[in-house]
Amino acid sequence: MPGGIEVPLELAAAWQTNAFPHGTHSPPTLTLVSIIFGILALVVVSARLYDRCVVRRNAGVDDILVAVSMIPTLGLCVLMCLAEKLYGFDRHAWDGAQVVLSVCILYLLSSCLTKVSILYFYRRVGEIKNWFRLTIWVNIGFIVSFTVAFSIGLFLECRPLYAYWNVVNPLWRMSHEYHCVDEGAKVLSACAISVFHDFVVCILPMTLFWDLHISRRAKLALMLIFSLGFLTCACGIARTVKTYYVYYETYDSTWAARPAFAITIIESCLSVICGSLPALKNSLQQCFHCLIHSSTLRSRRTNRWWKKPFFRSAQLSFQDIYSLQGIEKATRRPAPGVKAPRNSLAFATT
């Protein structure tokens, strides 16, 4: 069945009959998702800024960017709550209004700032090779250019501009002249490019860690930490599939778009959270040591599970990865006069 936001006149007329259920409201899913993930992202970013600005006092450009990215991210969460409560996102298309371009603008800004912040964070990794530094700058330029171009394209999509939100009304379309590009093709291409960016940002540190002079176990553990970003890639793929359904397989766009909007919120907040976790190594390490200390005291009194070799190795594995000075390999110190390995993993302090 064809679909899209331009509903045929005969279908719009049929929507006014009793053949379609009227007054049906969905559960407040978008509101709950927006509140939960918005609060999680805000807590993680606040902890990151406190760790970098107050505890370590070595905040950088990546911290500024992730802080700024919270403005469109939280704005997107608030907009979804308002859209579901006031603008008909909890109803079928024959009962309510359509999506406005504010969602696209806020998502683009949030995604761009978060990805650029993560790429800037990679530049703080010890001594990196020239090709890696060049790759980072190329990707930053590509992401910023894509965001600017697509944002401008949103305002040029329909002529006149107000046709963008009036085109959903078949009576308005019959009485006005306008021209709009294929919105579905444009949005799907943007989703695909965004997913590609997500994979690039996630794969880049893997190539760096594998060349480090550290144990294989530490390499795999580091990759596991940074591979959390692949959750955002999965969200991007799911959002692309749902977007295709909204534009090409149904005319009930407000109801069908609810999963896509929920995934968009989750993707935006997870990007901020996953991008901030590696920068919170000191706080995570302190929390982990507190848990280990309390568990060790209990095990000494009760002689229980923590004394088992498996859990001891897990503790050592984590301490191999996280140290108070940064994420680095806990190896022997080099002998006097011997230079340390050049590409051992250590985050810069400035």
For residue 310, tell me if it sits in a domain.
no
Residue 98 CB partners (closer than 8 Å, separation 6+) = 5, 165, 168, 253, 254
CATH code of residue 202: 1.20.1070
pLDDT tens digits, residue range 188-246? 999 999 999 999 998 888 877 776 676 777 677 777 777 788 889 999 999 999 888 88
For residue 20, tell me if it sits in a domain.
yes
Q: Specify the 3-state DSSP secondary structure of 92.
A: coil
For residue 335, tell me if it sits in a domain.
no
Cis, bond preceding 205 (omega within 30 deg of 0): no
Q: What are phi and psi of 5, to 5 degrees?
A: -90, -15
Please give the single-letter amino acid code of residue 16.
Q
The region of weakest confidence among 10-19, 58-67, 81-90 is 10-19
Domain span at 218 = 13-280
For residue 336, tell me if it sits in a domain.
no
Mean pLDDT of the chain: 75
For residue 221, tell me if it sits in a domain.
yes
pLDDT tens digits, residue range 173-198? 778 888 888 888 888 999 999 999 99
Instruction: Output the pLDDT for position 302.
Output: 53
What is the distance between the alpha carbons of residues 95 and 116, in angstroms, rounded to a whole number?
A: 40
- Range 102-137 burial, b when 16+ CB lie within 10 A, else e: ebbbbbbbbbbbbbbbbbbbbbbbbeeeeebeebbe
**141: pLDDT strictly greater than 90:** yes
**138: pLDDT strictly greater than 90:** yes
Instruction: Output the pLDDT for position 249.
Output: 81
Read off the pTM: 0.72
For residue 296, tell me if it sits in a domain.
no
Instruction: Output the pLDDT for position 315.
Output: 46
Instruction: Output the pLDDT for position 195.
Output: 93
Dig out the tokens for 124 from the structure.
């703080």
The region of weakest confidence among 18-22, 104-108, 272-276 is 18-22
Report which of residues 340 and 251 the model is more confident about.
251
For residue 206, tell me if it sits in a domain.
yes
**140: pLDDT strictly greater than 60:** yes
Report which of residues 343 and 297 the model is more confident about.
297
**10: pLDDT strictly greater than 70:** no
Q: How many domains does the chain have?
A: 1
Report which of residues 295 and 124 the model is more confident about.
124
**344: pLDDT strictly greater than 50:** no
What is the distance between the alpha carbons of residues 198 and 229, in angstroms, rounded to a whole number?
A: 8
Please give the single-letter amino acid code of residue 150.
F
Q: How far is CA 158 from the centre of its chain?
A: 29
**99: pLDDT strictly greater than 70:** no
For residue 4, tell me if it sits in a domain.
no
Residue 58, classified by CB atoms within 10 Å of its CB into exposed (0-12), middle (13-18) or buried (19+), is middle
